[in-house]
Amino acid sequence: MAVALLRQGIHPRGGGCICLGGDCPNCVVEVDGVAYVRSCQVAARPALEVARQTDTPRLPDESRPLETELRTAFADVVVVGQGESGLAAARDADGTVISFDAHRGEEAIGLYAGPTVVAKTPAGMVSVQCSRVVVATGAAEEQPICPGSELDGIFTKRAAESLRAAGIDLGDAVTIDEQPQRFEGSGRVEAVVTAAGDRIAASTVVVDLGLHPRSGLLRMGQGLEVEVVGDAALTDSLPPPPTEGVVCPCSDVTVSDLEAVWDRGFREMELLKRATLAGTGTCQGGVCLPHLRSYLAAKGVSTPAPFTARPLTRQATIGEVAAGYDLPPFRRTALHDEHLRLGATMDRFGAWWRPWRYPDPEAEYWSVRERVSLGDVSTLGKMEISGPDVVALLEKLYPCRVADLKDGQVRYALLLDERGYVLDDGLICRLSEHRFYLTFTSGGASFAEMWVRDWAETFDLDVRILDRTMSLGAINVTGPLARELLRRGGVDSPPAYLAHVDAAVFGVECRIVRLSFTGEVSFELHHPFSDSVELWRRLEEAGADLGSYPHGLDALFTLRLEKGHFIVGMDSEYDSTPRRLGLEWAARLSKPDFVGKQALLRTNRLPLNKRLLGWEMDGPAPIEGAILWQVATPVGQVTSARYSPVLAKTVMLGWLRSDPAEPEGISCDGRPVRHASHPFYDPDGARARA
Amino acid sequence: MLYLTCPNCGRRTVEEFRYGEIPTIPESITDPDARDLDRGFMRTNPFGPSVERWFHDYGCRRWFTVTRDTTTDEVL
Amino acid sequence: MLEPLEATRVIARPAALDAVRVSPGTLLMRLALDDALVIGGDVQVDDPFAIVVPDSGWVAWRFGEDQLREALVRLCAFEIHAGLNQGMVAGLPAKIWIDGDRSLVIVAAAYAAEFEERFR
Ligand SMILES: [Zn+2]
């Protein structure tokens, strides 16, 4: 493309020495809306839209596809560069070889541990995992650094050869083989003043100043299996130190800029680079690096090393950088489409899409409190665990007793880390002597399996572990009429509070687990993923005349807060011990051992410096995270706040620092706040146990 | 790009794994409480070979142990 | 193309799983030493503590091997071999079974929609 432009008498950038080797920034243009394209590295094709690049290139317009593919390949050897030495290296290499040829538009732009070579090609991005890399990138021609170097009509020797070969007449070109004193002219070069001081009139000047190895990839690959061949392996000689003019055409850094930062004490390569931005631009030091080294050497810096090379060696579009990257996925429960059918607003919560609200939020809430409601709790962490040592493991993992659980019993349990901090909470269901079913929070599910496996291996216990989070669905049937709805599904003896049974509900095999998060009678129906939709629909139909309406997360957060149930990670903090959460009963310190016990014994001796407490206030709920004030002193913060329809006041959980011995005179959001014991609603739990 | 080799699944990029530290407590700490504190809160951040646990999150979902040189990311 | 997979999951002692008996025509994928996914058949394992459960939490897509390998070049960063491959495909945890015309890609059903969007 650069040749095509020059044939038309158009300098791609308006001026500056042209190398046609991809080493300088002097031919960058915008091609089809993409800035920083080296026109010498792009084949000219009909209908390409080429524009001169401005100082502030525009962003690609959105109608153009930005996405680029990444292909992964494997080879024993990757050869970068297909000149003479590169071809030879590819021919002589043992095993499978992948080569990149800049002349075909294939540019290796990054070298990473592995080694992994990332290249930009006309077909998209390529990432090659290999055992060895051969850098055969050749050498770049030295650029003139002197006043007037930004004029049009200056070419390197190789560029001139290419242009002549393409049939472009360079007119009365003169060739110089030493850094000149200056170029003269306005817009186009008119004369060159040589190092010796001779002024030669010419409208085209060809500079033949020597070669410098293209060492970017090699320097990037330090410590990796990288070999260099051909001109890229040349010993780099220093040009004469620059005395005047632009050293770095990308960032427009002049010799006097270098002098200024030198005088301020930036006297080594990396500092010079950072202070001036020389070498950080389009060509990544392709033009300036030899001259910067020479500049430092002349100042007495012995053998100034080139600056560090990091990926990428070339400009890349956002699409190219993002190629092969995928956003973290979000899971859908089997009931996702059911929620959509019911008009739910879905939201991403933890790793899952979950229904936040259905069209009638009032009905969501009151159907739980007064009738019956369905909630999709498929996102809960679920695990089956068995084995001769299963009780021993669970006794270690949980701070509560496990061995005394009878078959069919359910126990609420905290999970602590070694520091005694609450990691998660959930249920322990005993299936039989050596079999248990465990649940975790939706957020805790992702690490629960790691956690349990890690401790099983640490203690070398004989257990079988199966994470069932994504293979079982779970529907919470909750409300005063929940038992009636189950009866209609064929369950005549539902489990008692804190128990579970296996039974068919509308013909679907379920594990029915009874606890309560909402404060009303609740049955969690755990069932095969493939039966979720059938079960949900049957429950929905059978519950219609009972006034059933589903509830989403928003309603659930209010319902559970009325019961004072905390949510791990929302109300609890990183360093929340059971004592700080007011859940000391959940850790049985008389047990011989459990993860976190030593830490609890120690921290229990310390003064209690913060507590999660229940609060209430009149009027609407303040924002969650709002500060709790005692007069003008912040003494804590609200973690959950909801207006309770059934209690007709706002209820909250929030942390209180120890400083006020008594939580008196507290305010929030400019209104008085009262400490209140929680549960706020149905404190003795009669409704949940009914 | 760091690669790890899962003994069950093979060589994969590090994004497939989750890291698990093996706590190391200096021998010089002898008081049991101080050892507990060190185990809970101090990270050694070794410069050089480090024995680590990795969990193959995207594959077999099992733990394995590797020794990795933290200065080069090389698995020893 | 997408099909739910009615499978059985077996967690058992590695030695017991080595000696597992499956009915003819059954596809057994050894996910780990103590873990197998069994598709389309009965399974018997000699371990009183084994967890053997029906597992409907997976979906599968069937492919010809060539077509699948070509697609995977764009979607995963590891080398595929015959038999079972487990790893990140299009940013998702997936299992790839390479066996000629009976090749499969398997992901958790919870990822089915996301995977279908990403798998092109
Ligand atoms: Zn693995």
Please state the domain extents for chain C: 3-54, 58-119
The secondary structure of residue A304, as a DSSP letter, is P
Listed by start position, the domains of chain A span 2-64+143-209, 68-141+211-236, 238-305, 338-379+471-559, 381-467, 606-690
Taking residues A122-130, report their average pLDDT: 95
pLDDT at residue A235, as a whole number: 87
For domain A338-379+471-559, which architecture applies?
2-Layer Sandwich (3.30)
Q: Give pairs for A334-341: CB < 8 Å, separation 24+.
A: A334/A378, A334/A473, A334/A529, A334/A530, A334/A532, A334/A533, A334/C109, A334/C110, A335/A376, A335/A378, A335/A473, A335/A475, A335/A532, A335/A533, A335/A536, A336/C113, A337/A533, A338/A376, A338/A533, A338/A536, A338/A537, A339/A376, A339/A550, A339/A552
**A526 in Cβ contact with A320 (< 8 Å):** no
* Ligand 1 geometric centre to CA of A270 (Å): 42
The verdict on A223 touching B (C-beta cutoff 8 Å) is yes
Tens digit of pLDDT for each residue in A127-186?
Answer: 999 999 999 999 999 999 999 999 999 999 999 999 999 999 998 899 999 999 999 999
The vertex-C34 CA angle with C31 and C36, nearest 5°, equals 40
Residue A86: band (very low, low, confident or very high) from pLDDT cuts 50, 70, 90: very high
Q: Give the separation between CA B4 and CA C7, rounded to whole angstroms.
A: 30
> Between chains, do A467 and B61 touch, taking CB under 8 Å as contact?
yes
Q: What is the number of other CB atoms lying within 10 angstroms of the CB of residue A363?
A: 18
SS3 B74: strand
- With contact defined as beta carbons under 8 Å apart, do A313 and A220 qualify? yes
Per CATH, which fold does A238-305 belong to?
Arc Repressor Mutant, subunit A (1.10.10)
Nearest residue to A668 via CA among A690, A645, A635, A643: A635
Higher pLDDT, C22 or A473: A473
pLDDT in tens, A347-403: 999 899 999 999 999 999 999 999 999 999 999 999 999 999 999 999 999 999 999
Check: pTM over 0.95? Answer yes or no.
Answer: no
- Contact of C11 with C34, CB cutoff 8 Å: yes
Of C31, C32, C78, nearest to B12 by CB-CB distance is: C78
When the pLDDT of each residue in chain A is averaged and rounded to a whole number, the result is 94
C57 with A386: Cβ contact below 8 A = no
Within a 10 A sphere around the Cβ of C78, how many other Cβ atoms? Answer: 24
Is the CB of residue A96 less than 8 Å away from at least one CB of chain C? no
Burial zone of A26 (CB within 10 Å; 0-12 exposed, 13-18 middle, 19+ buried): buried
Which tokens in the block code for residue A279?
């070498």
- Taking 90 as the threshold, does the pLDDT of residue A65 lie above it? no
Q: What percent of chain A has pLDDT over 90?
A: 86
Which CATH class name applies to A68-141+211-236?
Answer: alpha beta
For chain B, domains (ranges, CATH) are 3-75 (3.30.2270.10)
Q: Does C26 touch chain B (CB under 8 A)?
A: no
Task: Supply C30's token pair.
Answer: 């050894």
Token readout for C25 is 């025509």
**Contact: A113, B1; criterion CB under 8 Å:** yes
| pLDDT of C95 | 97
* SS3 state of residue A522: strand
- Within 8 A of C113 by CB-CB distance, chain A residues are 332, 336
CATH 2.40.30.110 fits A606-690, yes or no: yes
Q: Give the model's confidence band at A298: pLDDT under 50 very low, under 70 low, under 90 confident, else very high.
A: very high
- The complex's ipTM works out to 0.97
Long-range contacts of A401-409 (CB under 8 A, 24+ apart): A401/A588, A401/A591, A402/A428, A402/A436, A405/A430, A406/A430, A407/A431, A407/A432, A407/A433, A408/A495, A408/A499, A408/A500, A408/A501, A409/A498, A409/A499, A409/A500
Instruction: Name, in order, each residue with C-beta under 8 angstroms of B5's C-beta and a sequence gap of 6 or more.
Output: B11, B12, B66, B75
Work out the pLDDT band at A67, boundaries 50, 70, 90: confident
Looking at residues A304-332, what average pLDDT do you find? 89
CB contact under 8 A, A464 and C34: yes
Overall fold of domain A381-467: Alpha-Beta Plaits (3.30.70)
Give the environment of ion ligand 1: residues with CB less than 5 A.
B 6, 8-9, 56, 59-60
Contact residues on chain C for A69, CB-CB shorter than 8 A: 74
| C-alpha to C-alpha distances, A527 to A339, A473, A501, nearest whole angstrom | 18, 5, 12
Contacting residues of A for C6, CB less than 8 Å apart:
530
Contact residues on chain B for A223, CB-CB shorter than 8 A? 72
CA distance linking residue A559 with residue A518, whole number of Å: 5
Contact pairs from chain A to chain C, CB under 8 Å: 93
Residues from chain A that touch C55, judged by Cβ atoms under 8 A, are 471
CA distance B5 to chain C (A): 11
Report the C-alpha gap between A252 and A280 in whole angstroms. Answer: 11
The mean per-residue pLDDT over the stretch C82-89 comes to 97
Chain B: residue nearest A466 by CA? B61
Contact between A475 and A374 (Cβ < 8 Å): yes
Judge whether A132 and A204 are in contact, CB under 8 Å: no
> What is the predicted pLDDT for the residue at A379?
97
**Chains in contact with chain B (at least 3 beta-carbon pairs closer than 8 A):** A, C
